[in-house]
Amino acid sequence: MYDLIIIGAGPAGITASVYAARKRMNFLVITKDIGGQAALSGDIENYTGYQFITGPDLAAKFEEHMHKFEITLKENEEVVELKKKEDKVWVKTNKDTYEAKTAIIASGKRSRELNVPGEKEFKNKGLTYCATCDGPLFTGKDVAVIGGGNSALDATLQLLKIARQIYLINNTPTLGGDAVMREKVEDAKFVTVLNNAQVTKIFGERMVSGIKIKRQDREEALSVEGVFVEIGLIPTSEFAKDVEKNQFGEIRVNPYNETNIPGIFAAGDVTDVPEKQIIIAAGEGSKASLSAFRYLAHS
């Protein structure tokens, strides 16, 4: 029986673990991987204390900080169910079942899929959801980035140093996202922005060789060897069936990171807290841990 189970080890989960360790709580961290979306980010210029740092480097700093403490970590485990029964929180994973007095859900978000023909067939065969992870595989090649927000802009900026030609496929009239990033993308020589365009198909033989897009009621094919899907993220919250969520699947929390179920807290991108930023997720993780500690002290 643990005092606390933290689900996820991105910025929110890792920060929650550091605060739980400093409060001498008996706790467990369960996660599929370490770093979360931070590890998949490119260049970061808005995390206080670092004028410039890459996503993987910042994630490594987080992990290093976490390992300064004696933390029980279950890595490569996926949570499939979370329930509260008789004042205990039960967490079931694909490998085991654990129980605790409290839990913090910091499971973050995952990439949204296009749901077009060819997407599943060419996943990891030229189609990817992570420019940071797979960008170097496309050195000197023509690629397409699908999306028009910060994720797509970040991927495009990373690929500027790698790819030969980048097509940015955006389904709205203009690009969104951060103004500074947008200007850099629009000024880049090797980027062609195609607004009001929708991807209708990914095609190729063994590997991706192109995509079909629809613009102004006309369909055309683009010859590319890489496709980076960057159309946003969806919260990883399905396992918490009894926890109240909004229309986007984000877990509803109050200023103390409490959910509708006493003893179950949530933090970071999986919640309905506005603005999905690394620094905000980290701050929310610390708050959730302090709230869990306070709950234990009064229960």
Contacts of 71 (CB under 8 A, 6+ apart): 17, 21, 27, 29
Do 9 and 35 form a contact (C-beta atoms < 8 A)?
A: yes
- Neighbouring CB atoms inside 10 A of 241's CB total 10
Beta partners for 202?
Answer: 211
Instruction: Give the domains, in start order, of the chain with CATH numbers.
Output: 2-111+233-298 (3.50.50.60), 127-229 (3.50.50.60)
Q: What local confidence, expressed as pLDDT, does residue 217 receive?
A: 87
Q: How far is CA 11 from CA 32, 121, 270, in A?
A: 14, 32, 12
* Predicted TM-score of the model (pTM): 0.83
Tens of pLDDT, residue by residue, the chain (299 residues): 999 999 999 999 999 999 999 999 999 999 999 998 888 887 888 899 998 999 899 999 999 999 999 899 999 999 999 999 989 999 999 999 999 999 999 999 998 999 999 999 999 899 999 888 889 999 999 999 999 999 999 999 999 999 999 999 999 999 999 999 999 999 999 999 999 999 999 999 999 999 999 998 899 999 999 999 999 889 999 999 999 999 999 999 999 999 999 999 999 999 999 988 999 999 999 999 999 999 999 98
- CA dihedral sign of residues 57, 59, 62, 66: negative
Main-chain phi, psi angles of 192, to 5 degrees: -110, 115
Catalytic residues: 130, 133-134
Q: What local confidence, expressed as pLDDT, does residue 216 receive?
A: 86
Q: What local confidence, expressed as pLDDT, does residue 51 receive?
A: 87
